[in-house]
Amino acid sequence: MEAPLDVCAIERLLPHRFPFLLIDRVVELSGEKVVALKNVTINEPFFAGHFPGHPIMPGVLIVEAMAQAGAVLAMSESDRKPEELVIYFMALDQVKFRKPVVPGDQLRLEVEPLRKGGAIWKMKGRALVDGQVVTEAQFLATIAPK
């Protein structure tokens, strides 16, 4: 599978759907890296409560968006059958939130595998806005039958 991937192509790889599909486009995809985009708009359902009058994207959702980008990388391997598999978080490590993400920002999600293949993947990711890192994390995920 080659980038760019639109939302329809992403939905063929991931089980997530609105309002929890947190990546809008994959702009780079190789065996060694995935780069995805998330356009953050005021219409996001979480902004109604986080925080009224001062909208900030929840950090856990930024990490989730990174994980979804990583899942695209893992599920895009040629021998995977996304319709039969699901990928689960197992662990988060070294998570750092550096700057708030607000409506109008575009998250650039860059994820690289540290250990890949088989059922367990270890990845590192970072989210950037206008070239500045806003969030970083390492995470473990497992691929399992649905």
Domain count across the chain: 1
Question: Is residue 54 in a domain?
Answer: yes
Question: Is residue 88 in a domain?
Answer: yes
Predicted local distance difference test score (pLDDT) of residue 107:
98
Question: Is residue 84 in a domain?
Answer: yes
Question: Is residue 1 in a domain?
Answer: no
Question: Is residue 27 in a domain?
Answer: yes
Question: Is residue 32 in a domain?
Answer: yes
Active-site residue identified among 16, 25, 50, 116: 50
Query: Whole-prediction pTM value?
Result: 0.96
From the first residue on, what is the mean pLDDT of each consecutive set of 10 residues in the chain (146 residues)? Answer: 92 94 97 96 96 97 98 88 92 98 98 91 98 98 93
Contact 70, 139 (CB under 8 A): yes
Q: Which two tokens stand for residue 32?
A: 């060694």
The residue length of the chain stands at 146
How far apart, in whole angstroms, are the C-alpha atoms of residue 110 and residue 3? 14
Identify the CATH number of the domain in which residue 107 sits.
3.10.129.10
How far apart, in whole angstroms, are the C-alpha atoms of residue 69 and residue 31? 13
Q: In the annotation, is 50 catalytic?
A: yes
pLDDT in tens, 6-47: 999 999 999 999 999 999 999 999 989 999 999 999 999 999
Contact 1, 15 (CB under 8 A): no
Question: Is residue 118 in a domain?
Answer: yes
